[in-house]
A = this chain, B = another copy of it.
């Protein structure tokens, strides 16, 4: 969903405010002030704090989806390459947009039921995509794990956790981390072989 420049501003200012204070302690009035507009100007676009929260979370999904869609377009149909590309995109999302991840971790529970439903629906595409990649790999015999669904959840969790410790000024570039976590995700899936890899596997 494309945001207008003004909506984009509210979403960015609101995200900073929610990440800083939490949804419960944040005020829509403060967000309007920090955006330098009147409260009614904000209400024209987002009818309340809940509406703005949903827009911020949806914007996070859009950012995430465009990263992995772009990454998958750059590789072929091979499940190993697709898996690597998807993991690299997840690492990119967590290292480049840590505030999106923080919003997801702490504020989803503040969505009211209808918003939670819409948000869940929007996330479905990405969830389904990695499921398909793994299932294709299992069907082709290149992933031999007995637990494809737990592996899927684990890959999402281990890349999500990067945001908890990643330091943009630290030694790891996002690209290096992306390669490393792609390799680890493959190991988790028990690959029948890892072409060109130096993962330390025997035989």
Contact = CB atoms under 8 A, between A and B. Distances in A.
A167 to B, nearest CB: 13
B105 A147 contact: no
A192 B23 CA distance: 48
Nearest to A26: B24
Copies of this chain: 2
Given A106-B109, A147-B184, A153-B165, 19 more contacts: A22-B24, A24-B24, A105-B105, A144-B201, A145-B184, A150-B180, A150-B181, A151-B184, A153-B158, A156-B161, A157-B158, A157-B160, A158-B158, A187-B187, A187-B190, A188-B188, A190-B199, A192-B202, A202-B203
Interface of A: 21-25, 105-106, 109-110, 144-147, 150-151, 153-154, 156-158, 160-161, 165, 180-181, 183-184, 187-188, 190, 192-193, 198-203
Contact of A144 (B105, B165, B202): B202
Instruction: Kindly list the 5 A-B residue pairs having the minimum CB-CB distance in the complex, ordered from nearest.
Output: A157-B161, A154-B158, A203-B203, A24-B25, A144-B200
Contacts of A146: 198-200
A147 to B, nearest CB: 6
A94 B180 CA distance: 27
Contacts of A145: 184, 187, 199-200
Given A22-B24, A153-B165, A188 B184 contact: yes
